[in-house]
């Protein structure tokens, strides 16, 4: 029987706690949108945001906040739900309000939506492969700077799970930490004495796995283990601690890794290798 999941992963599924678009708007607008000023303040418009490829929709709260920050009177009507799979050429939402605000917010809103939807889309692909298998796919800290919380929300929206959010909410003892501390045993001992946070140790060989099992962390990460070594590690562990596989794992071999019996598989590609979804915003009516 597998161990109950530890608090090492958290689901960032409440966007009200992570949505903040001020820095993104400041980056784009700076001292003011000098192009939008060619449009009279009294001009109003209706627009649509359209996807040009299949995707999992993610990022609605960020789009809403962009336009709300610019003009609280802009009305947005979403035609697809957050987390829904949508087909290419689908109209995702319609917007209505002051044309200046719509044009000023367009790129920031689309940048966020295309990035978070890409993250959710890739995460959905991984989640679907492991449907029915008792193994969870985790993200990593390999996120786009400034979008840590947002991308982890998108991962959860796509159906995968979050590893620790940052350096503050979970201990992951890696090769350099072990060398600096002197040994796996010493690193774990010091970590236990300093905090109540969950402790994970990364190992790169069966000998290091044995050392880690003796040290008794909460989880052991098996880095770049072959399938045969993963199976051997699961048998040796005998459900003593949680096991996480990592390194050179993708869509092609994901299921085979999960079937070795590990509890988790961490995938940096969920957040770092994404290709932005092709989206566009088109004004359909001006008055």
> Binding residue per annotation — 268?
yes
Tens digits of per-residue pLDDT, 57-68?
Answer: 999 999 999 999
Identify the active-site residue in 107, 148, 216, 231.
Answer: 107
Flag residues of the chain having pLDDT under 70: 1-10
> Binding residue per annotation — 174?
yes
Q: Which part of the chain has CATH 3.90.1170.20?
A: 8-124+274-286
CB count in 10 Å sphere of residue 160 = 28
Q: Which part of the chain has CATH 3.20.20.70?
A: 161-266
Identify the active-site residue in 223, 242, 244, 263.
Answer: 223
Identify the active-site residue in 3, 10, 68, 142.
Answer: 142
What is the Cα–Cα distance from 284 to 68, expressed in whole angstroms?
20
Active site residue 152: no
pLDDT at 12: 76
> Binding residue per annotation — 104?
no
Active site residue 107: yes
pLDDT at 3: 43
Identify the active-site residue in 106, 200, 202, 263.
Answer: 202
Identify the active-site residue in 174, 192, 231, 272.
Answer: 174
Report CA torsion sign: 88, 89, 94, 99: positive
pLDDT at 177: 96
Active site residue 231: no
Query: Is 153 in a helix, a strand, or coil?
Result: helix
> Binding residue per annotation — 142?
yes
pLDDT at 5: 45
pLDDT at 14: 79
Name 38's Cβ contacts closer than 8 Å, sequence gap at least 6. none
Active site residue 223: yes
> Binding residue per annotation — 80?
no
pLDDT at 9: 64
> Binding residue per annotation — 247?
yes
The CATH architecture one would assign to domain 8-124+274-286 is Alpha-Beta Complex (3.90)
Active site residue 37: no
What is the Cα–Cα distance from 244 to 137, expressed in whole angstroms?
9
pTM score = 0.94
pLDDT at 150: 95
The CATH architecture one would assign to domain 161-266 is Alpha-Beta Barrel (3.20)
Tens digits of per-residue pLDDT, 54-110?
Answer: 999 999 999 999 999 999 999 999 999 999 999 999 999 999 999 999 999 999 999
Name 36's Cβ contacts closer than 8 Å, sequence gap at least 6. 99, 100, 103, 104
């Amino acid at each position: 029987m597998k161990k109950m999941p530890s608090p090492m992963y958290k689901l960032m599924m409440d966007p009200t706690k992570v949505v903040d678009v001020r820095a993104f708007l400041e980056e784009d607008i700076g001292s003011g949108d000098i192009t939008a000023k060619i449009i009279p303040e009294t001009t109003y418009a209706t627009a649509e945001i359209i996807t040009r490829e299949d995707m999992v929709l993610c990022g609605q709260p960020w789009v809403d906040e962009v336009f709300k920050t610019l003009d609280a009177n802009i009305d947005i009507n979403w035609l697809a739900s957050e987390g829904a799979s949508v087909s290419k050429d689908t109209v995702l939402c319609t917007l209505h309000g002051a044309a200046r605000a719509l044009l000023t917010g367009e790129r920031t809103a689309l940048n966020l939506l295309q990035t978070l939807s890409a993250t959710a889309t890739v995460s959905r692909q991984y989640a679907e492969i492991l449907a029915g298998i008792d193994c969870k796919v985790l993200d990593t800290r390999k996120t786009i700077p400034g979008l840590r919380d947002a991308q982890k929300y998108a991962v959860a929206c796509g159906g995968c799970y979050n590893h620790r959010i940052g350096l503050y909410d979970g201990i992951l003892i890696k090769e350099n930490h072990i060398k600096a501390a002197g040994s796996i045993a010493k690193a774990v001992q010091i970590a236990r004495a300093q905090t109540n946070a969950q402790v994970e140790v990364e190992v790169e060989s069966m000998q290091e796995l044995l050392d880690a099992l003796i040290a008794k962390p909460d989880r052991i990460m098996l880095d770049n283990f072959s399938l045969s070594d993963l199976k051997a590690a699961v048998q040796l562990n005998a459900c003593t601690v949680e096991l996480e596989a990592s390194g050179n794992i993708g869509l092609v071999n994901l299921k085979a890794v999960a079937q070795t019996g590990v509890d988790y598989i961490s995938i940096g590609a969920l957040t770092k290798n994404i290709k932005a979804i092709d989206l566009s915003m088109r004004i359909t009516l001006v008055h």
